Amino acid sequence: DTGVSQDPRHKITKRGQNVTFRCDPISEHNRLYWYRQTLGQGPEFLTYFQNEAQLEKSRLLSDRFSAERPKGSFSTLEIQRTEQGDSAMYLCASTLDRAETQYFGPGTRLLVL
């Protein structure tokens, strides 16, 4: 089993630019989660997919954020018109079943200048 992978691992962008991150879950995991972690804090939930359906979104997910999981496999998280406050680590996790443990990827560290 390969683990959860995320790409890119690091991204530096200028304020106002759009960025897109990708997450590949563990194969056969039908549930995929996005979290955001700022410095000195624990991860905070952003959104969750079961297969291709986006079933829950946090209030943290402003209208500049959009996430997709078009075929129920990999997912993308796009941030439009980035702001300095978007600088954070974006973590992806996956699991096979609600009762199971969420397995995390290495994260994408975003720096908005």
Q: Does 91 bind other proteins (CB under 8 A)?
A: yes
Q: Could you tell me which stretch among 17-25, 53-61, 62-70, 72-80 binds other proteins (CB under 8 A)? A: 53-61
Buried b (16+ CB within 10 A) or exposed e, 50-76: eeeebeeeeeebeeebebebeeebbbe
Length of the chain (residues): 113
For other proteins, which is the closer residue by CB, 79 or 91? 91
What does the binding site for other proteins look like in residue numbers (CB under 8 A)? 3-4, 31, 33, 35, 40-45, 48, 55-56, 58, 91, 93, 98-99, 101-107
